[in-house]
Chain A
Amino acid sequence: MTGAVLCALLLLAMLLALAAGDQPVSPVDVLRALAGVEVSQVSETIVMTLRLPRVALAAAVGAALAVAGTATQAVLRNPLAEPGLLGINAGAALAAMIVIVEVASLPESLLPAVSFAGALITALAIQMFAWRAGTSSLRLILVGVGVGALAGAGASFIAAFGPAAEVQRAITWSAGSLQDARWVKLEWLVLWGLPGALALWLAARELDLIALGDRVAGGVGQRVQLVRGLVIVAVALLAGAAVAASGPIAFVGLAAPHVARALTGRNHARLIPVAAVCGAILLVVADLAARRLLAPVQVPVGLATALIGAPFFGYLLWSRRNEL
């Protein structure tokens, strides 16, 4: 039931996002263009070539971040955790900054690969530094914050001394943007992200258990270190692929799992797909807002998610103030 309603909401949000813009297209024409039924050339180009890749990418990035966030909150046993805590955003941003500013000769098409590698390396490094006869949730968070700050400092350093034009480009990228959405980015995200998402969904039972704590999970026979390590690798794949496609986008990975838990409870086999759809809706709507709020100026979608997400999150905390 919840699932059907959410999917309908997602389709509605995508339809709206395809229709709205500087050149509005009527929802009927959007549907006709999508179905390949006869429609004006202009409308078809706008819907199929300009808007559809962006809306589809927004949905995919939102879903990827939401699934990654759900798994992160389970293994770190912390409701405020998100993939960014594992250094994924900071590592990706640093790698992208280095490439954009320092290696200007590198073709832009390699940027996603580079930021993906940065995300993955940082996530692995954090696990390595946090390892002391196994990792613990607290140590991972502390090391993650530290490594994230270090990578952030590195990026700031490069920004301070690099040539202004390149730095500007890098800063725009690191604000998170779907402006440059192309089908190839979506393919990339699906190729790298889907295995991670599927692995996490198949491991739903392990996530249910590890959320009870290391000692309880270990007591009933879970190989806690192995599960946590593999989950973090899957999260890094998924969130790294999302960051590579759109730059770091705040808040979806944090808020979508909370919304999904409020809707469906704590069973990860249900929670993960519900969170994915919630994340997709959240980012499609946020991107629509980013395009339309200050039109014709486009706000980076990362800013829009923060602007929409922060008050929503405040409301979430406030409405449950007696429980927390």
Chain B
Amino acid sequence: MSFDPSEAQAGLVAEALTLGYGALPIVDSLSVTLPKGRFIAILGPNGCGKSTLLKALSRQLAPLQGQVLLDGRAIADLGSKQAARALGLLAQGAEPPEGLSVEALVRQGRYPHRGPFSPWQARDQRAVDRALHQTGLTELRDRPVEVLSGGQRQRAWIAMVLAQDAPVLLLDEPTTWLDLRHQLEVLGLMRRLVDEGGLTVIAVLHDLDQAARHADHVVMMKAGRIVAEGAVRVALTKDRLAEVFGVDVDVLEDPATGRPMCVPRSILPE
């Protein structure tokens, strides 16, 4: 349940967060420490507050109580551009306006690095070129976003967030609506960003196997609380999954990778 601080540096820390949109809190007094330089998956059933937590972590939702610390500083005290240089957010289901080219979209990721009237600089272009290269979109940079396939389009949004050059990436269900191949592409890219780029990736995921296969660390939520948290092998257990999802799941070991694999067996009585 607890996280060993000697294992890695703390990146984002939520302190007694109470979150909600009206009087009724969705997340109640939640505290969690998300380690730096890891791929962290936030898991939980629909309505458990995981997307709400991600909004608060990315400064898109002001907490009713509590605060989020980034490297020891409250993110609420950061300017909006300053926060965006530290935290990149991939929002869910965004639709680009018709006729916008891939590169024009990716260039928007440079917004927090530019003054209101400062010209486009070489370092901005370098960041855009690198983001396009990392997402394999260099050849497609002049295409309008709406003619791309679903997977390419998702990669274009990711490229925009990468151009933002933030050390922490927050992703809200980055693989939903994608077919198997594109899911693997996106998750593989996240894995490389963590392993090779030293980024911290925090993603809300729906698929247990995706989390088991690609993430280092999981946070499991139910009804606005954290039920389990820690390294994948420690946190993803049969009992926890039964508690969180109400499903009897066998956790097996993938013979090829040695990582856990989740096989749902039956729905447990309420």
Contacts and interface: CB of A to CB of B under 8 A. Distances in A.
Interface string A195-224: 000000010010011011101101111110
Contacts of A215: 60, 89, 91, 94
Contact of A212 (B96, B116, B117, B161): B96
A77 B160 CA distance: 19
A223 B60 contact: no
A77 B97 CA distance: 8
B97 A220 contact: no
Given A212-B94, A213-B91, A220 B100 contact: no
Most chain A Cβ neighbours within 10 Å, of B21, B90, B111: B111
Interface in A162-208: 202, 205, 208
A323 interface: yes
Nearest to A226: B80
**Prevailing SS type, chain A contact patch:** loop
B154 to A, nearest CB: 13
Contacts of B94: 212-213, 215-216
A216 B164 contact: no
A3 interface: no
A221 B104 contact: no
A265 B99 contact: yes
Interface string A260-271: 010001110000
A133 B22 CA distance: 10
B85 interface: yes
Given A209-B108, A267-B104, A219 B99 contact: no
A73 to B, nearest CB: 9
B97 A211 contact: yes
Interface size class of B (residues with CB under 8 A): 20 to 34
B60 A219 contact: yes
B98 A323 contact: yes
A164 B99 CA distance: 50
B67 interface: no
Contact of A219 (B91, B114, B117): B91
Given A205-B116, A209-B111, A212-B96, A219 B105 contact: no
Interface in B91-125: 91, 94-100, 104-105, 108-109, 111-112, 114, 116-117
A32 B258 CA distance: 89
Contacts of A202: 117
Contacts of B58: 219
Given A212-B105, A215-B60, A221 B111 contact: yes
Given A216-B91, A219-B84, A219-B91, A266 B97 contact: yes
A202 B117 CA distance: 8
A23 to B, nearest CB: 46
B81 A208 contact: no
A221 B97 contact: no
B260 interface: no
A215 B161 CA distance: 12
A266 B112 contact: no
B80 A266 contact: no
A187 to B, nearest CB: 29
Contact of B111 (A211, A213, A220, A267): A220
A48 B108 CA distance: 48
Contacts of B84: 219-221
Contacts of A213: 91, 94-95
B83 interface: yes
Contacts of A223: 80
A77 B164 CA distance: 23
B88 interface: yes
B98 to A, nearest CB: 7
A212 B108 contact: yes
A143 to B, nearest CB: 19
A261 B97 CA distance: 12
15 contacts: A77-B97, A202-B117, A205-B111, A205-B114, A205-B116, A212-B108, A215-B60, A215-B94, A218-B80, A219-B90, A220-B109, A220-B112, A221-B81, A222-B111, A267-B104
Interface of B: 21, 58, 60, 79-85, 88-91, 94-100, 104-105, 108-109, 111-112, 114, 116-117, 157, 160-161, 164
Chain A to chain B: the 3 pairs with minimum beta-carbon distance, closest first: A221-B84, A219-B89, A221-B112
Given A79-B98, A218-B89, 14 more contacts: A77-B97, A205-B111, A208-B104, A209-B108, A209-B111, A216-B160, A218-B60, A219-B84, A219-B91, A220-B109, A221-B84, A221-B112, A222-B111, A267-B104
